Amino acid sequence: DAKTTQPTSMDCAEGRAANLPCNHSTISGNEYVYWYRQIHSQGPQYIIHGLKNNETNEMASLIITEDRKSSTLILPHATLRDTAVYYCIVRVTTRYGGATNKLIFGTGTLLAVQP
């Protein structure tokens, strides 16, 4: 399994960019990096995913380093409603390197957006 490491918590001022780091140093070449968030008392919400190239959608940007060992999720203008636990996930592979369809969640980063 490719493991991910994230800071336990982060603060961000409202209106500023929130940059959430994730280390995945054992990632395999065909494994995607996924980001989800969970707002209190809700189910996880998909944000973005990527393989090698940087990705951007209406919610966030994903920056993946060239060696793919780490990535950063960027929320360009954080609002109070972005306060949530953010999970960086690398999909599980089998013993022989084949992809599975399971998403295994780590402990995530609690992002607190401050007014």
Partner 1 sequence: SAVISQKPSRDICQRGTSLTIQCQVDSQVTMMFWYRQQPGQSLTLIATANQGSEATYESGFVIDKFPISRPNLTFSTLTVSNMSPEDSSIYLCSARGQGDGTEAFFGQGTRLTVV
Give whichever of 14 and 92 is closer to partner 1, judged by the CB atom.
Answer: 92
* Binding interface with partner 1 (CB under 8 A): 30, 32, 34, 36, 42-46, 49, 51, 85, 87, 91, 99, 101-108
Give whichever of 14 and 55 is closer to partner 1, judged by the CB atom.
Answer: 55
Q: How far is the CB of 16 from partner 1 (least distance, A)?
A: 26
Phi and psi at residue 80, to the nearest 5°: -60, -30
Give whichever of 107 and 114 is closer to partner 1, judged by the CB atom.
Answer: 107
Contacts of 33 (CB under 8 A, 6+ apart): 22, 24, 27, 49, 50, 51, 62, 64, 68, 71, 88, 89, 90
Q: How far is the CB of 26 from partner 1 (least distance, A)?
A: 18
Q: How far is the CB of 102 from partner 1 (least distance, A)?
A: 6
Nearest to 60 by CA among 17, 31, 21: 17
- How far apart CA 52 and CA 69 sit, in angstroms, is 11
